[in-house]
Structure 1
Amino acid sequence: MLRLPRLAGAATAALALGALAAAPAASGEPIVSAPRIVAHFDLAAGQTPENIALEPDGSADLTFAFARQVAHVTRFGQVSVRATLPAEPHPNTPLIGSAIVSGIARAHDGTLYVAYATGTSRTGIWRIAPDGRAPRQIAQLPPDGLPNGLALDEHRGVLYAADSVRGVVWRVPQAGGRPTVWAGGPALAPLPPPAAGFGANGIKVRHDAVWVTNTDRGTLLRIPVRADGSAGAAATRARGLGGIDDFAFVGRDETVLAALNTDSELVVVRPDGSHRVVLRREDGLSNPTSVAVRHHTVYVPSAAYFTLSDPNLLLARLSTRQGRGL
């Protein structure tokens, strides 16, 4: 979810955060079509959509990274602010400098959880209650880290946060409390300079595993969750995904749609690790940061971190080669 040059005209700095298979879609493979932008955002106001969670009615909750906000966007493009994280007077966020809101996850009761990185004691996981109360920090994470992607496992009552700088996955009780390092190692770590320095980034829970992207390494990883809740060995499921940010699963197998931030592309990543571009900048993508899927609809927020043009929310139709919705 994050990478960075500087945002021209914005109050803060910008963030970003298998071989390519050129073959056509196989039978039953997801088809993404009819892309349309439903909402345009204000780059100068820091409205850089970093991550997304969907509501039951198909509307979306987006984190506006540099505005420190969580915004609600209807399917028709109406935008309202749900919450603003507290200002940090002396931010010192690694790689970025500015305070940013990154990952978001939604519980079934409507509670939202977001990752907030400031380089201070405010760095951590914050809860936003559905009744409109002010956001509250429920867990502190090290100020020298960068919590990025966020995933919720309500069955186990835990949140997983991908730390792009420390190259680890944190595990935090959903009710709040002390975080622990759940997974680490070279597969999650960033690369040394001159690489951008973003390791573990996007994250999702899928059955009995946690899936994580590594932006510097261009990989998609699967980490099993053992019976006692501890992490198994990380396995690389796809390579060659340059600039990968966050992703979403499609259907019942391990097919995913992934946002390639720097190239402004959306790709389908097959279970065998190969991938194919399904949307490009010409379709309206402008440094996409994350993906969500609901029934026959794909949601792709773009933050314009590098293009510096048209941060937006794009919707597209999801079907298969036979024309059936997923």
Structure 2
Amino acid sequence: MPRLPQLPAVAAVTAAVALLAAAPPPDGEQTVSRPRIVAHFDITRGQTPENIALEPDGSADLTFSVARQIAHVTKQGHTHIRATLPAEPNPRTPLVGDDIVLGIARAHDGTLYVTYATGTGKTGVWRVAPGGRPRQIAQLPANGLPNAIGLDERRGVLYVADSVLGTVWRVPQAGGTPTAWATGTALEPVPASEGGFGVGVNGLKVHDGAVWVSNTDRGTLLRIPVRRNGSAGEVETRATGLGGIDDFAFTGRGNTVLAALVISNELALVRPDGTHTVVLTQEDGLSNPTSVAVRHRTVYVPSGAFFTLRDPNLLLARLGEGGHGG
């Protein structure tokens, strides 16, 4: 989540809601331990990690939102820039103002797909083939904020969460015209008159026959079934009280989730019944965590430092033994 001027005003309230909603961990459930920062980034160069996709060898591809870059980070913390998206001379991105790269997804052949928000015709989905340059494959509304992106290679489609327009877009993987796949109040931001700060549907994952999304303003985790014909089913609320939720990841094949709570500098374990427990905090090294990835027993958490303005980083931790959720 890029820095928004409205957020600091509600940070304390949102963090308090998150803490009040947290439930104590039951015996025998998954744990997150041994956190360590493997890479520190330079905020003065716009190296603010927003989203993450993992490579087969356990290395990570990160979007540096402000720098408009895709960075590759090894598990030892070595970093190099894979691609930089073309600058927009006159960006008019809603809420943010600047041109920023947000979500990222990886295909099995190594192709990367990212969302780029500029407030102009460059807004949309961009593809970076292995060794290639970024190329726009779909244009999304300039008055929106395309955020997280998920790939369903079986169906050959991409899903994009638009945080301003409260829409999940469906885009052909090969590129082309997007479709407003899911809309509705559950995906929309909360009006400013009701205490919202303009960020609705935010994180997104394709998981077990459904598209799961978070809503930052509403503090919710939602599941949208994919019907046999590819259309969206009814939106299901799976968890509430997740104040300042950004992106998230599943811990395995079940429905247990690790969610980045960007404002309160926390990582929460969200159980299938909707209750949650904070498992990492700012004391562990989190600095406005923006997204999560899980590979086997390794948890990856990028921190963008959008509000702390201190130590953007990539943190790795260990997922403890236990079930994979229900």
Amino acid at match of 1:147: P
Question: TM-score when scaled to structure 2?
Answer: 0.93
Amino acid at match of 1:198: V
SS in 2 for 1:105: strand
Amino acid at match of 1:38: V
SS in 1 for 2:283: helix
User: In 2, are the aligned partners of 1:188 and 1:200 still within 8 Å (CA)?
Assistant: yes
Q: Identity, % of aligned pairs?
A: 71
Change (3 A) 1:189 1:3: farther
The structure that is helix-richer by fraction is 2
User: In 2, are the aligned partners of 1:91 and 1:119 still within 8 Å (CA)?
Assistant: yes
Cα distance in 2 for residues equivalent to 1:320 and 1:242: 27
1:183 alignment partner in structure 2: 182
1:35 alignment partner in structure 2: 35
1:158 alignment partner in structure 2: 157
* CA deviation after TM superposition for structure 1 residue 207, in Å: 1.4
SS in 2 for 1:310: coil
Amino acid at match of 1:181: A
Amino acid at match of 1:304: A
Cα distance in 2 for residues equivalent to 1:235 and 1:102: 25
Question: For the aligned residues, what is the CA RMSD?
Answer: 1.5
Cα distance in 2 for residues equivalent to 1:145 and 1:177: 18
2:144 alignment partner in structure 1: 145
Change (3 A) 1:3 1:230: farther
* CA deviation after TM superposition for structure 1 residue 22, in Å: 3.5
Cα distance in 2 for residues equivalent to 1:305 and 1:21: 24
Cα distance in 1 for residues equivalent to 2:165 and 2:3: 15
Cα distance in 2 for residues equivalent to 1:41 and 1:4: 20
Provide Cα deviations, 1:50-100, integer angstroms capped at 9, x if missing partner.
000000000000000000000000000000000000010000000000000
1:81 alignment partner in structure 2: 81
1:135 alignment partner in structure 2: 134
Unaligned runs of 5+ in 2: 7-17
* CA deviation after TM superposition for structure 1 residue 321, in Å: 5.5
User: In 2, are the aligned partners of 1:105 and 1:151 still within 8 Å (CA)?
Assistant: yes
User: In 2, are the aligned partners of 1:218 and 1:239 still within 8 Å (CA)?
Assistant: yes
Hey, which bits of structure 1, 4+ residues long, moved more than 2 A?
18-22
1:9 alignment partner in structure 2: none
More displaced stretch, 248-257 vs 313-322? 313-322
Question: TM-score when scaled to structure 1?
Answer: 0.93
1:259 alignment partner in structure 2: 260
Counterparts of 1:43-192 in structure 2 under 5 Å?
A: 43-130=43-130, 132-192=131-191
Change (3 A) 1:82 1:105: same
User: In 1, are the aligned partners of 2:91 and 2:99 still within 8 Å (CA)?
Assistant: yes
Provide Cα deviations, 1:247-269, integer angstroms capped at 9, x if missing partner.
00012210000000000000000
* CA deviation after TM superposition for structure 1 residue 195, in Å: 1.6
Amino acid at match of 2:261: L
* CA deviation after TM superposition for structure 1 residue 112, in Å: 0.1
Cα distance in 2 for residues equivalent to 1:24 and 1:299: 21
SS in 2 for 1:320: coil
Unaligned runs of 5+ in 1: 7-17
Cα distance in 2 for residues equivalent to 1:289 and 1:23: 24
Cα distance in 2 for residues equivalent to 1:22 and 1:273: 10
1:293 alignment partner in structure 2: 294
Change (3 A) 1:309 1:284: same
SS in 1 for 2:143: coil
Cα distance in 2 for residues equivalent to 1:56 and 1:99: 30
Cα distance in 2 for residues equivalent to 1:174 and 1:129: 13
User: In 1, are the aligned partners of 2:23 and 2:275 still within 8 Å (CA)?
Assistant: no
* CA deviation after TM superposition for structure 1 residue 121, in Å: 0.1
SS in 1 for 2:169: strand
SS in 1 for 2:31: strand
Cα distance in 2 for residues equivalent to 1:206 and 1:187: 19
User: In 1, are the aligned partners of 2:59 and 2:75 still within 8 Å (CA)?
Assistant: yes
Cα distance in 1 for residues equivalent to 2:24 and 2:292: 23
* CA deviation after TM superposition for structure 1 residue 134, in Å: 1.2
1:14 alignment partner in structure 2: none
1:13 alignment partner in structure 2: none
Provide Cα deviations, 1:154-201, integer angstroms capped at 9, x if missing partner.
010000000000000000000000000000000000011142100010
User: In 2, are the aligned partners of 1:200 and 1:212 still within 8 Å (CA)?
Assistant: yes
Cα distance in 1 for residues equivalent to 2:223 and 2:302: 24
SS in 1 for 2:320: strand
SS in 2 for 1:187: helix
* CA deviation after TM superposition for structure 1 residue 24, in Å: 2.9
User: In 1, are the aligned partners of 2:115 and 2:148 still within 8 Å (CA)?
Assistant: yes
Cα distance in 2 for residues equivalent to 1:69 and 1:212: 24
User: In 2, are the aligned partners of 1:63 and 1:69 still within 8 Å (CA)?
Assistant: yes
* CA deviation after TM superposition for structure 1 residue 3, in Å: 4.8
* CA deviation after TM superposition for structure 1 residue 23, in Å: 1.6
Cα distance in 2 for residues equivalent to 1:103 and 1:44: 21
Query: Paired residues, what number?
Result: 310
